[in-house]
Amino acid sequence: MSARFTTLGRYPTTRLRRNRGEGWSRRLVAEHKLSVDDLIWPVFVQEGANSRTPVASMPGVDRLSIDLFAEAAKEARDLGIPAVAIFPETDPAAKTPDAREAYNPGNLVCRAITAVKKAVPDIGIICDVALDPFNSDGHDGIVRDGRILNDESVEALVKQAIVQTEAGADIQAPSDMMDGRIGAIRTALDAKGYHHEQIMSYAAKYASAFYNPFRDAIGSSGALKGDKKTYQMDYANSDEALREVGLDIEEGADMVMVKPGLPYLDIVRRVKDTFGVPTYAYQVSGEYAMLKGAADRGWLDWNKVLIETLTGFKRAGCDGILTYGAVDAARLLKSK
Ligand code: PBG
């Protein structure tokens, strides 16, 4: 052996490239694997029949009428996707300051839940609990004199969670960030005998500029007055996320979520390491728009960045990911 190697530390005894040399070896040493079981597909629904409307700021994503949503849910189930999350575009005429449409048992969400449950009984249905699709102020809670009222909002959220559960939803996912809502919803569900219906708490949800395309999709961006910084978290904070998650678990959350996703993987890791509970992240609309928008211009390879980012979520400690790319990812994983 040539003497020149002796000056380079442990090289060549230790060569980390050895395990990377062949595809079969890379597969053998892979630490994390993305599977279709990790995917939750968020879907936007609209009124009407046999109709779809492209969401301009989310290329490739359409808002679907309930019948098309039921068909799409069947497809998702056939691909092996465990669950869908429903987000409604509410008729502006139905939006009021008290957001009462949120707990109208005949609202678009409830009809969508019932239709999908009937068409595809074996896919999980997750529903947001928040008032922003129904509130004329575009806020997640009830606004009075420019303030978002906590306890009054929680009362409305509890009613919303109940009608959604009665319609057949499996998981209530409070995304409103009011204090105490998890405990209030758990208590109300149990009082009604819904002991098995789960709660996935948007526990560490940050006030983020990455939600804009979502607000376009559900038609709340025009309505929104001000920002959501008095209830959603400051992105400068990390310890506070652990307090939020800890409280939600104490109050009865079965699963917790961090949101947005990619810029917050450090939070995912801390939450998973601290609590060891089922932990999810939401690859939100702005993250999707960034990747898809660049891919559509030929600057990124969509399939590759999708799988890379989703695997990154797994590596950070996620048990699953909400992603608008769920169907694409499921197809890619199947064809592999
Ligand atoms: C509503 C809600 C939002 C998202 C999910 N639920 C937006 C917001 O808080 O303003 C964002 C999802 C996304 O951007 O994809 N409470």
Give me ligand 1 centre to Cα 205, in Å. Answer: 9
128 in contact with ligand 1, CB cutoff 6 A: yes
175 in contact with ligand 1, CB cutoff 6 A: yes
For residue 1, being part of any structural domain is answered with no
Kindly report the CATH number assigned to the domain that includes residue 290: 3.20.20.70
Greatest C-alpha distance within the chain: 81
Is residue 244 within 8 A of residue 203, CB to CB? The reply is yes
Per-residue pLDDT at 219: 86
Instruction: Please check the confidence at residue 135 and state whether its pLDDT lies above 60.
Output: yes
Containing structural domain, residue 138: 32-335
For residue 23, being part of any structural domain is answered with no
Give me ligand 1 centre to Cα 25, in Å. Answer: 41
- The pTM score is 0.95
132 in contact with ligand 1, CB cutoff 6 A: yes
For residue 309, being part of any structural domain is answered with yes
Instruction: Please check the confidence at residue 4 and state whether its pLDDT lies above 80.
Output: no
User: Of 229, 231, 277, nearest to 251 (Cα)?
Assistant: 277
For residue 11, being part of any structural domain is answered with no
Q: How far apart are CA 261 and CA 279, in angstroms?
A: 12
Q: How far apart are CA 124 and CA 259, in angstroms?
A: 20
Q: Stretch 144-162: mean pLDDT, rounded?
A: 97
E-state strands within 163-278:
171-174, 198-205, 255-259
Instruction: Please check the confidence at residue 192 and state whether its pLDDT lies above 60.
Output: yes
Q: How far apart are CA 198 and CA 85, in angstroms?
A: 13
Per-residue pLDDT at 323: 98
Half-sphere exposure of 149 (CA within 13 A, CB side): 15
Per-residue pLDDT at 263: 98
Instruction: Please check the confidence at residue 223 and state whether its pLDDT lies above 90.
Output: no
Pocket-testing residue among 87, 142, 211, 231, ligand 1, by greatest number of atoms within 8 A of Cβ? 211
Residue 6 banded pLDDT, cuts 50, 70, 90: low
Q: Stretch 236-243: mean pLDDT, rounded?
A: 98
The runs of H, that is alpha helices, within 6-134 are 23-29, 66-79, 108-119
| Whether ipTM exceeds 0.95 | yes
Per-residue pLDDT at 1: 46
For residue 128, being part of any structural domain is answered with yes
For residue 185, being part of any structural domain is answered with yes
Q: What are the φ/ψ torsions at residue 191 (nearest 5 degrees)? A: -60, -30
Give me ligand 1 centre to Cα 33, in Å. Answer: 27
What's the number of domains the chain is made of?
Answer: 1
233 in contact with ligand 1, CB cutoff 6 A: no
Q: Token match 């149990």: residue? A: 190
For residue 224, being part of any structural domain is answered with yes
For residue 21, being part of any structural domain is answered with no
